A and B are shown apart, each in its own frame.
Chain A
Amino acid sequence: MSVRPFRNRIVPATALFLAAGSLIGQVTPATRYDAGPQNDTSFHPIEVTRQKVTTTTVLLTLSAKSPVPEMDLQFSGTTAELH
């Protein structure tokens, strides 16, 4: 049985594979990753502006008027208006 037909196919294929690998090695930057499932939320920005902003740490002091068991306290729901 002649091996020539097989060799005629495998040699060009190997050369093409090596050439492609060499090319990919040159032009592909670092590996890309994808992460996390989507939670069906989307955000469409309408206006994004750069501004000076003030970040303030606020200290809350609690004082019980009567005995209080353990509480779940939230510092949230900040509402405001821009002028």
Chain B
Amino acid sequence: MQPGQKPQIAGRITTTAGQTGQISISGRTLNSNSDVPDVHADVPFRNQKGQLKLSSPTATGPVAISVKPTNQTVGDGYVVKGDLTVSLKAVSNVQPSGVTVDTSAEGVTLVSSAPSANLAPSATDVTRSITFVASDGQRGRILTQIKGKTRTGKDYIRRAYLYVLADANKLYTSSSGFVDLEIQKLQADHDARRISDDQYNAGVNAVLSGATESGVAKQ
């Protein structure tokens, strides 16, 4: 990217009335040998009576960032509070004192995540209290990343995903993936007789054959 060029990127955020917070944007060069510093910007926001208001970003690094809301829709959705638990495989080899736990989201909006606490040496899992917002029809995933060092000094990284599908009738979650979410929804719709046997079978075949989209809408 040369001075004068102004590439644009679209992101998406879901908020509720009265909500405040900030959007975080971070970037780094793909060339690990480059001495170009990382980019970071925070954009404070406030949802005022259903309208998202953005403040000026505070950016550091070689790139200036400006933001503006474009398309905005108001609809029904979910605010979900709960406990997310991730098992710690091979944690007996990890030094508990240096372990960090970070939670982030794609496709849905993470509202809060409890701060990390020191892990007990005998811990076999990590539980975080989280809150996220999803509008009807949205799908996304919440990433929990656990990083630390093994007793021999090697990096320990554990990534675990919780997949989410917000349907008008129910909120679905899965640790398996989007295919599992789609099948859960088909089964619930079939059990509630919202769809017929034929529609259920056609839907399952479409999901398993990959005919339906199973990706995350990037924020």
Contact = CB atoms under 8 A, between A and B. Distances in A.
Interface of A: 29-83
Interface string B1-26: 11111111111111111111111111
B69 A56 contact: yes
Contacts of A66: 3, 62
B173 to A, nearest CB: 5
A56 B29 contact: no
Main SS class of interface, A:
strand
Interface residues of B, number: 104
Nearest to B44: A80
Interface in B22-73: 22-31, 34, 36, 39, 43, 45, 47, 50-52, 54, 62-73
B133 A43 contact: no
A33 B69 CA distance: 42
Classify the secondary structure of B's interface with A: strand
Contacts of B131: 82
Interface of B: 1-31, 34, 36, 39, 43, 45, 47, 50-52, 54, 62-87, 89, 104-106, 109-113, 129, 131, 133-135, 138, 144, 160-162, 171, 173-177, 179-180, 183, 187, 190, 197, 200-201, 204, 208, 218-219
Contacts of B78: 48-51, 53
Contact of A72 (B20, B28, B134): B28
A64 B37 CA distance: 12
